[in-house]
Each structure stands twice: as C-alpha cells, then as structure tokens.
Amino acid sequence: MADIEYPEVDSNRERVQKVLARLGYGSRRSCEEMLLAGRVEVNGSLAVLGDRMDPETDTLSIDGIQVSTQTGLVYYLLNKPSGVVVTSNDPQGRKSVLEFVPKEPRVFSVGRLDLLTEGLLIMTNDGEFAHTLTHPSMGVEKEYLVHLDGVLKRSELASLRRGVDLDDGPTYPAKVRLLSPSLVKITIHEGRNRQVRRMMDAVGHRVIRLVRTRIGPITDDRLAPGEYRSLFQSELIAVRESTKLEVAVSRAKRRARKE
C-alpha cells in the first residue's frame, strides 16, 4: 500500500485575522469583519476568512496599503524637552531624544522638532508607520501652542489662517485660535522645516516658546517633559483609521482630477 502523504505543517503560518489582531488592528472579531468586508490582501490577493499567512515572509495590505507584519515593533510618545536634538549623532554632542527612551530595540523619531521646540514626538522602529505619519499626502494634523513676542493683530491672524508666503512656497490655510493676545494655538498638516517659526516670522513675530500638543489623534497633557510612554493600542488604531481616511480622500481627489 502506498504511503499516505501528510501535508507539511508550516508552524509559521497563522490565521490572517489573528495576525491583524496581534498587530493592533482591533479585536479578533473586528479583524474577521475586515476580512469579510474584502479589505485585506495577502501577497496581493484578496484574503478570505480562514486564510493563513506567514508574517515573516508574506505581505499584508489593508485597504490597498501595505502594513508591517514584523513583531517586536515599539511605539513611544515622548514629551521632548527644549534643548534636545532629534538626531542620533549631533556634531556638537548635544543631548538626543534617544537618551529618553529604551536603547533596545533601536528607534528613531517620526518627523522632527527643532532644538528649542518642546512637546510630543513619536518614536518607533516601524518604518511603514513612520512613513504613513509623515507623508505629505496623509495630511496628519499637528497642533502647536505658540508663545509670541508681542500681541498678534487681527490682520496677522487672518494671514496665518489664509496661508503665508514662505521661501519654499505658500503654506496651506491653517487653523489658528488666539488663546490670549500673545498665545496662539495653530494646527497645520504640512511638515515643512521650522514651519511654525517661519510662519510667525512672515507675519512679523518671533516665537518665544513652541510646544507641540497633538499629532493626529494623539495627545497627552499629563506627560512631563522628558517622560515617555508606549502608544496605546487604541491610538495606533486611531492613527491608522485617520490616515486611511486621508488615503481615500486623496485617491478620490486624484480620480476627480483625471475625469
């Protein structure tokens, strides 16, 4: 009698909904719903409930966007103090944000804050997540508190809201709220170098203190300067949800332009 051939059991292959839930895309149930809704692809092919994948070698996409399946990913939220650089090797040997978070695994900052800017900074070893947050097409909102050297006039407030001319082009309209005569809350979704300082400069003001208070849906007013915490699963999901919305909007705009 011929030997029975048993299929090889590949222990690396996990159910797709289990991989999604482990990566923080929701509960097992809601990840099953993502599969049922046809939102998930493995290696470019639509995945159905019950499909398995190898997170080490297979690619995973949600709503057409490839997501990382690596384990060991970490996501920190640091309240950066003033006078600290975001780079790892500063020629002047100044203190780096890397000194405030665990050394292993090695992380990098998502986007940048100037030496003198304080406030929220995300640090991670997830390149795709960082790319999603910083890519201009995603339009992730960043909110800053700006202390100015003088009183902001109505006309200056209106200019900031409309957009001002900078040497690398005009800025998009910004949300600007005057909290007191010299204290402004500004929300922008571009990530240009020293953008807020240059915008204030363009309307004739010097920034005395600049604090980032929100990145997309992420905020925390209880984190003291120099303190960090891990991002909550709900925050990771919220970032992914908000950027997904942006992808849908920018695709719709591209389609409308072509028509």
Smaller CB separation from ligand URA, 116 or 245: 116
DSSP for residue 32: H
Smaller CB separation from ligand URA, 73 or 211: 211
Name 122's bridge partners.
77
Smaller CB separation from ligand URA, 61 or 219: 219
CB-based contacts of 130, cutoff 8 Å, min separation 6: 108, 110, 122, 124
Smaller CB separation from ligand URA, 85 or 210: 210
SS3 per residue for 134-202: HCHHHCCCEEEEEEECCCCCHHHHHHHHHCCEECCEECCCCEEEEEECCEEEEEECCCCCCHHHHHHHH
DSSP string spanning 49-94?
TT-EE-TTT--EEETTEEE---SS--EEEEEEPTT-BSSS--TT--
Residues lying near ligand URA in the complex (CB under 6 A) are found at 113-114, 117, 194-197, 210
**Rounded least distance, CB 191 to ligand URA, Å:** 8
Catalytic position from the list 114, 126, 149, 165: 114
Residue type, 211: V
Annotation marks residue 114 as catalytic: yes
Residues designated catalytic: 114
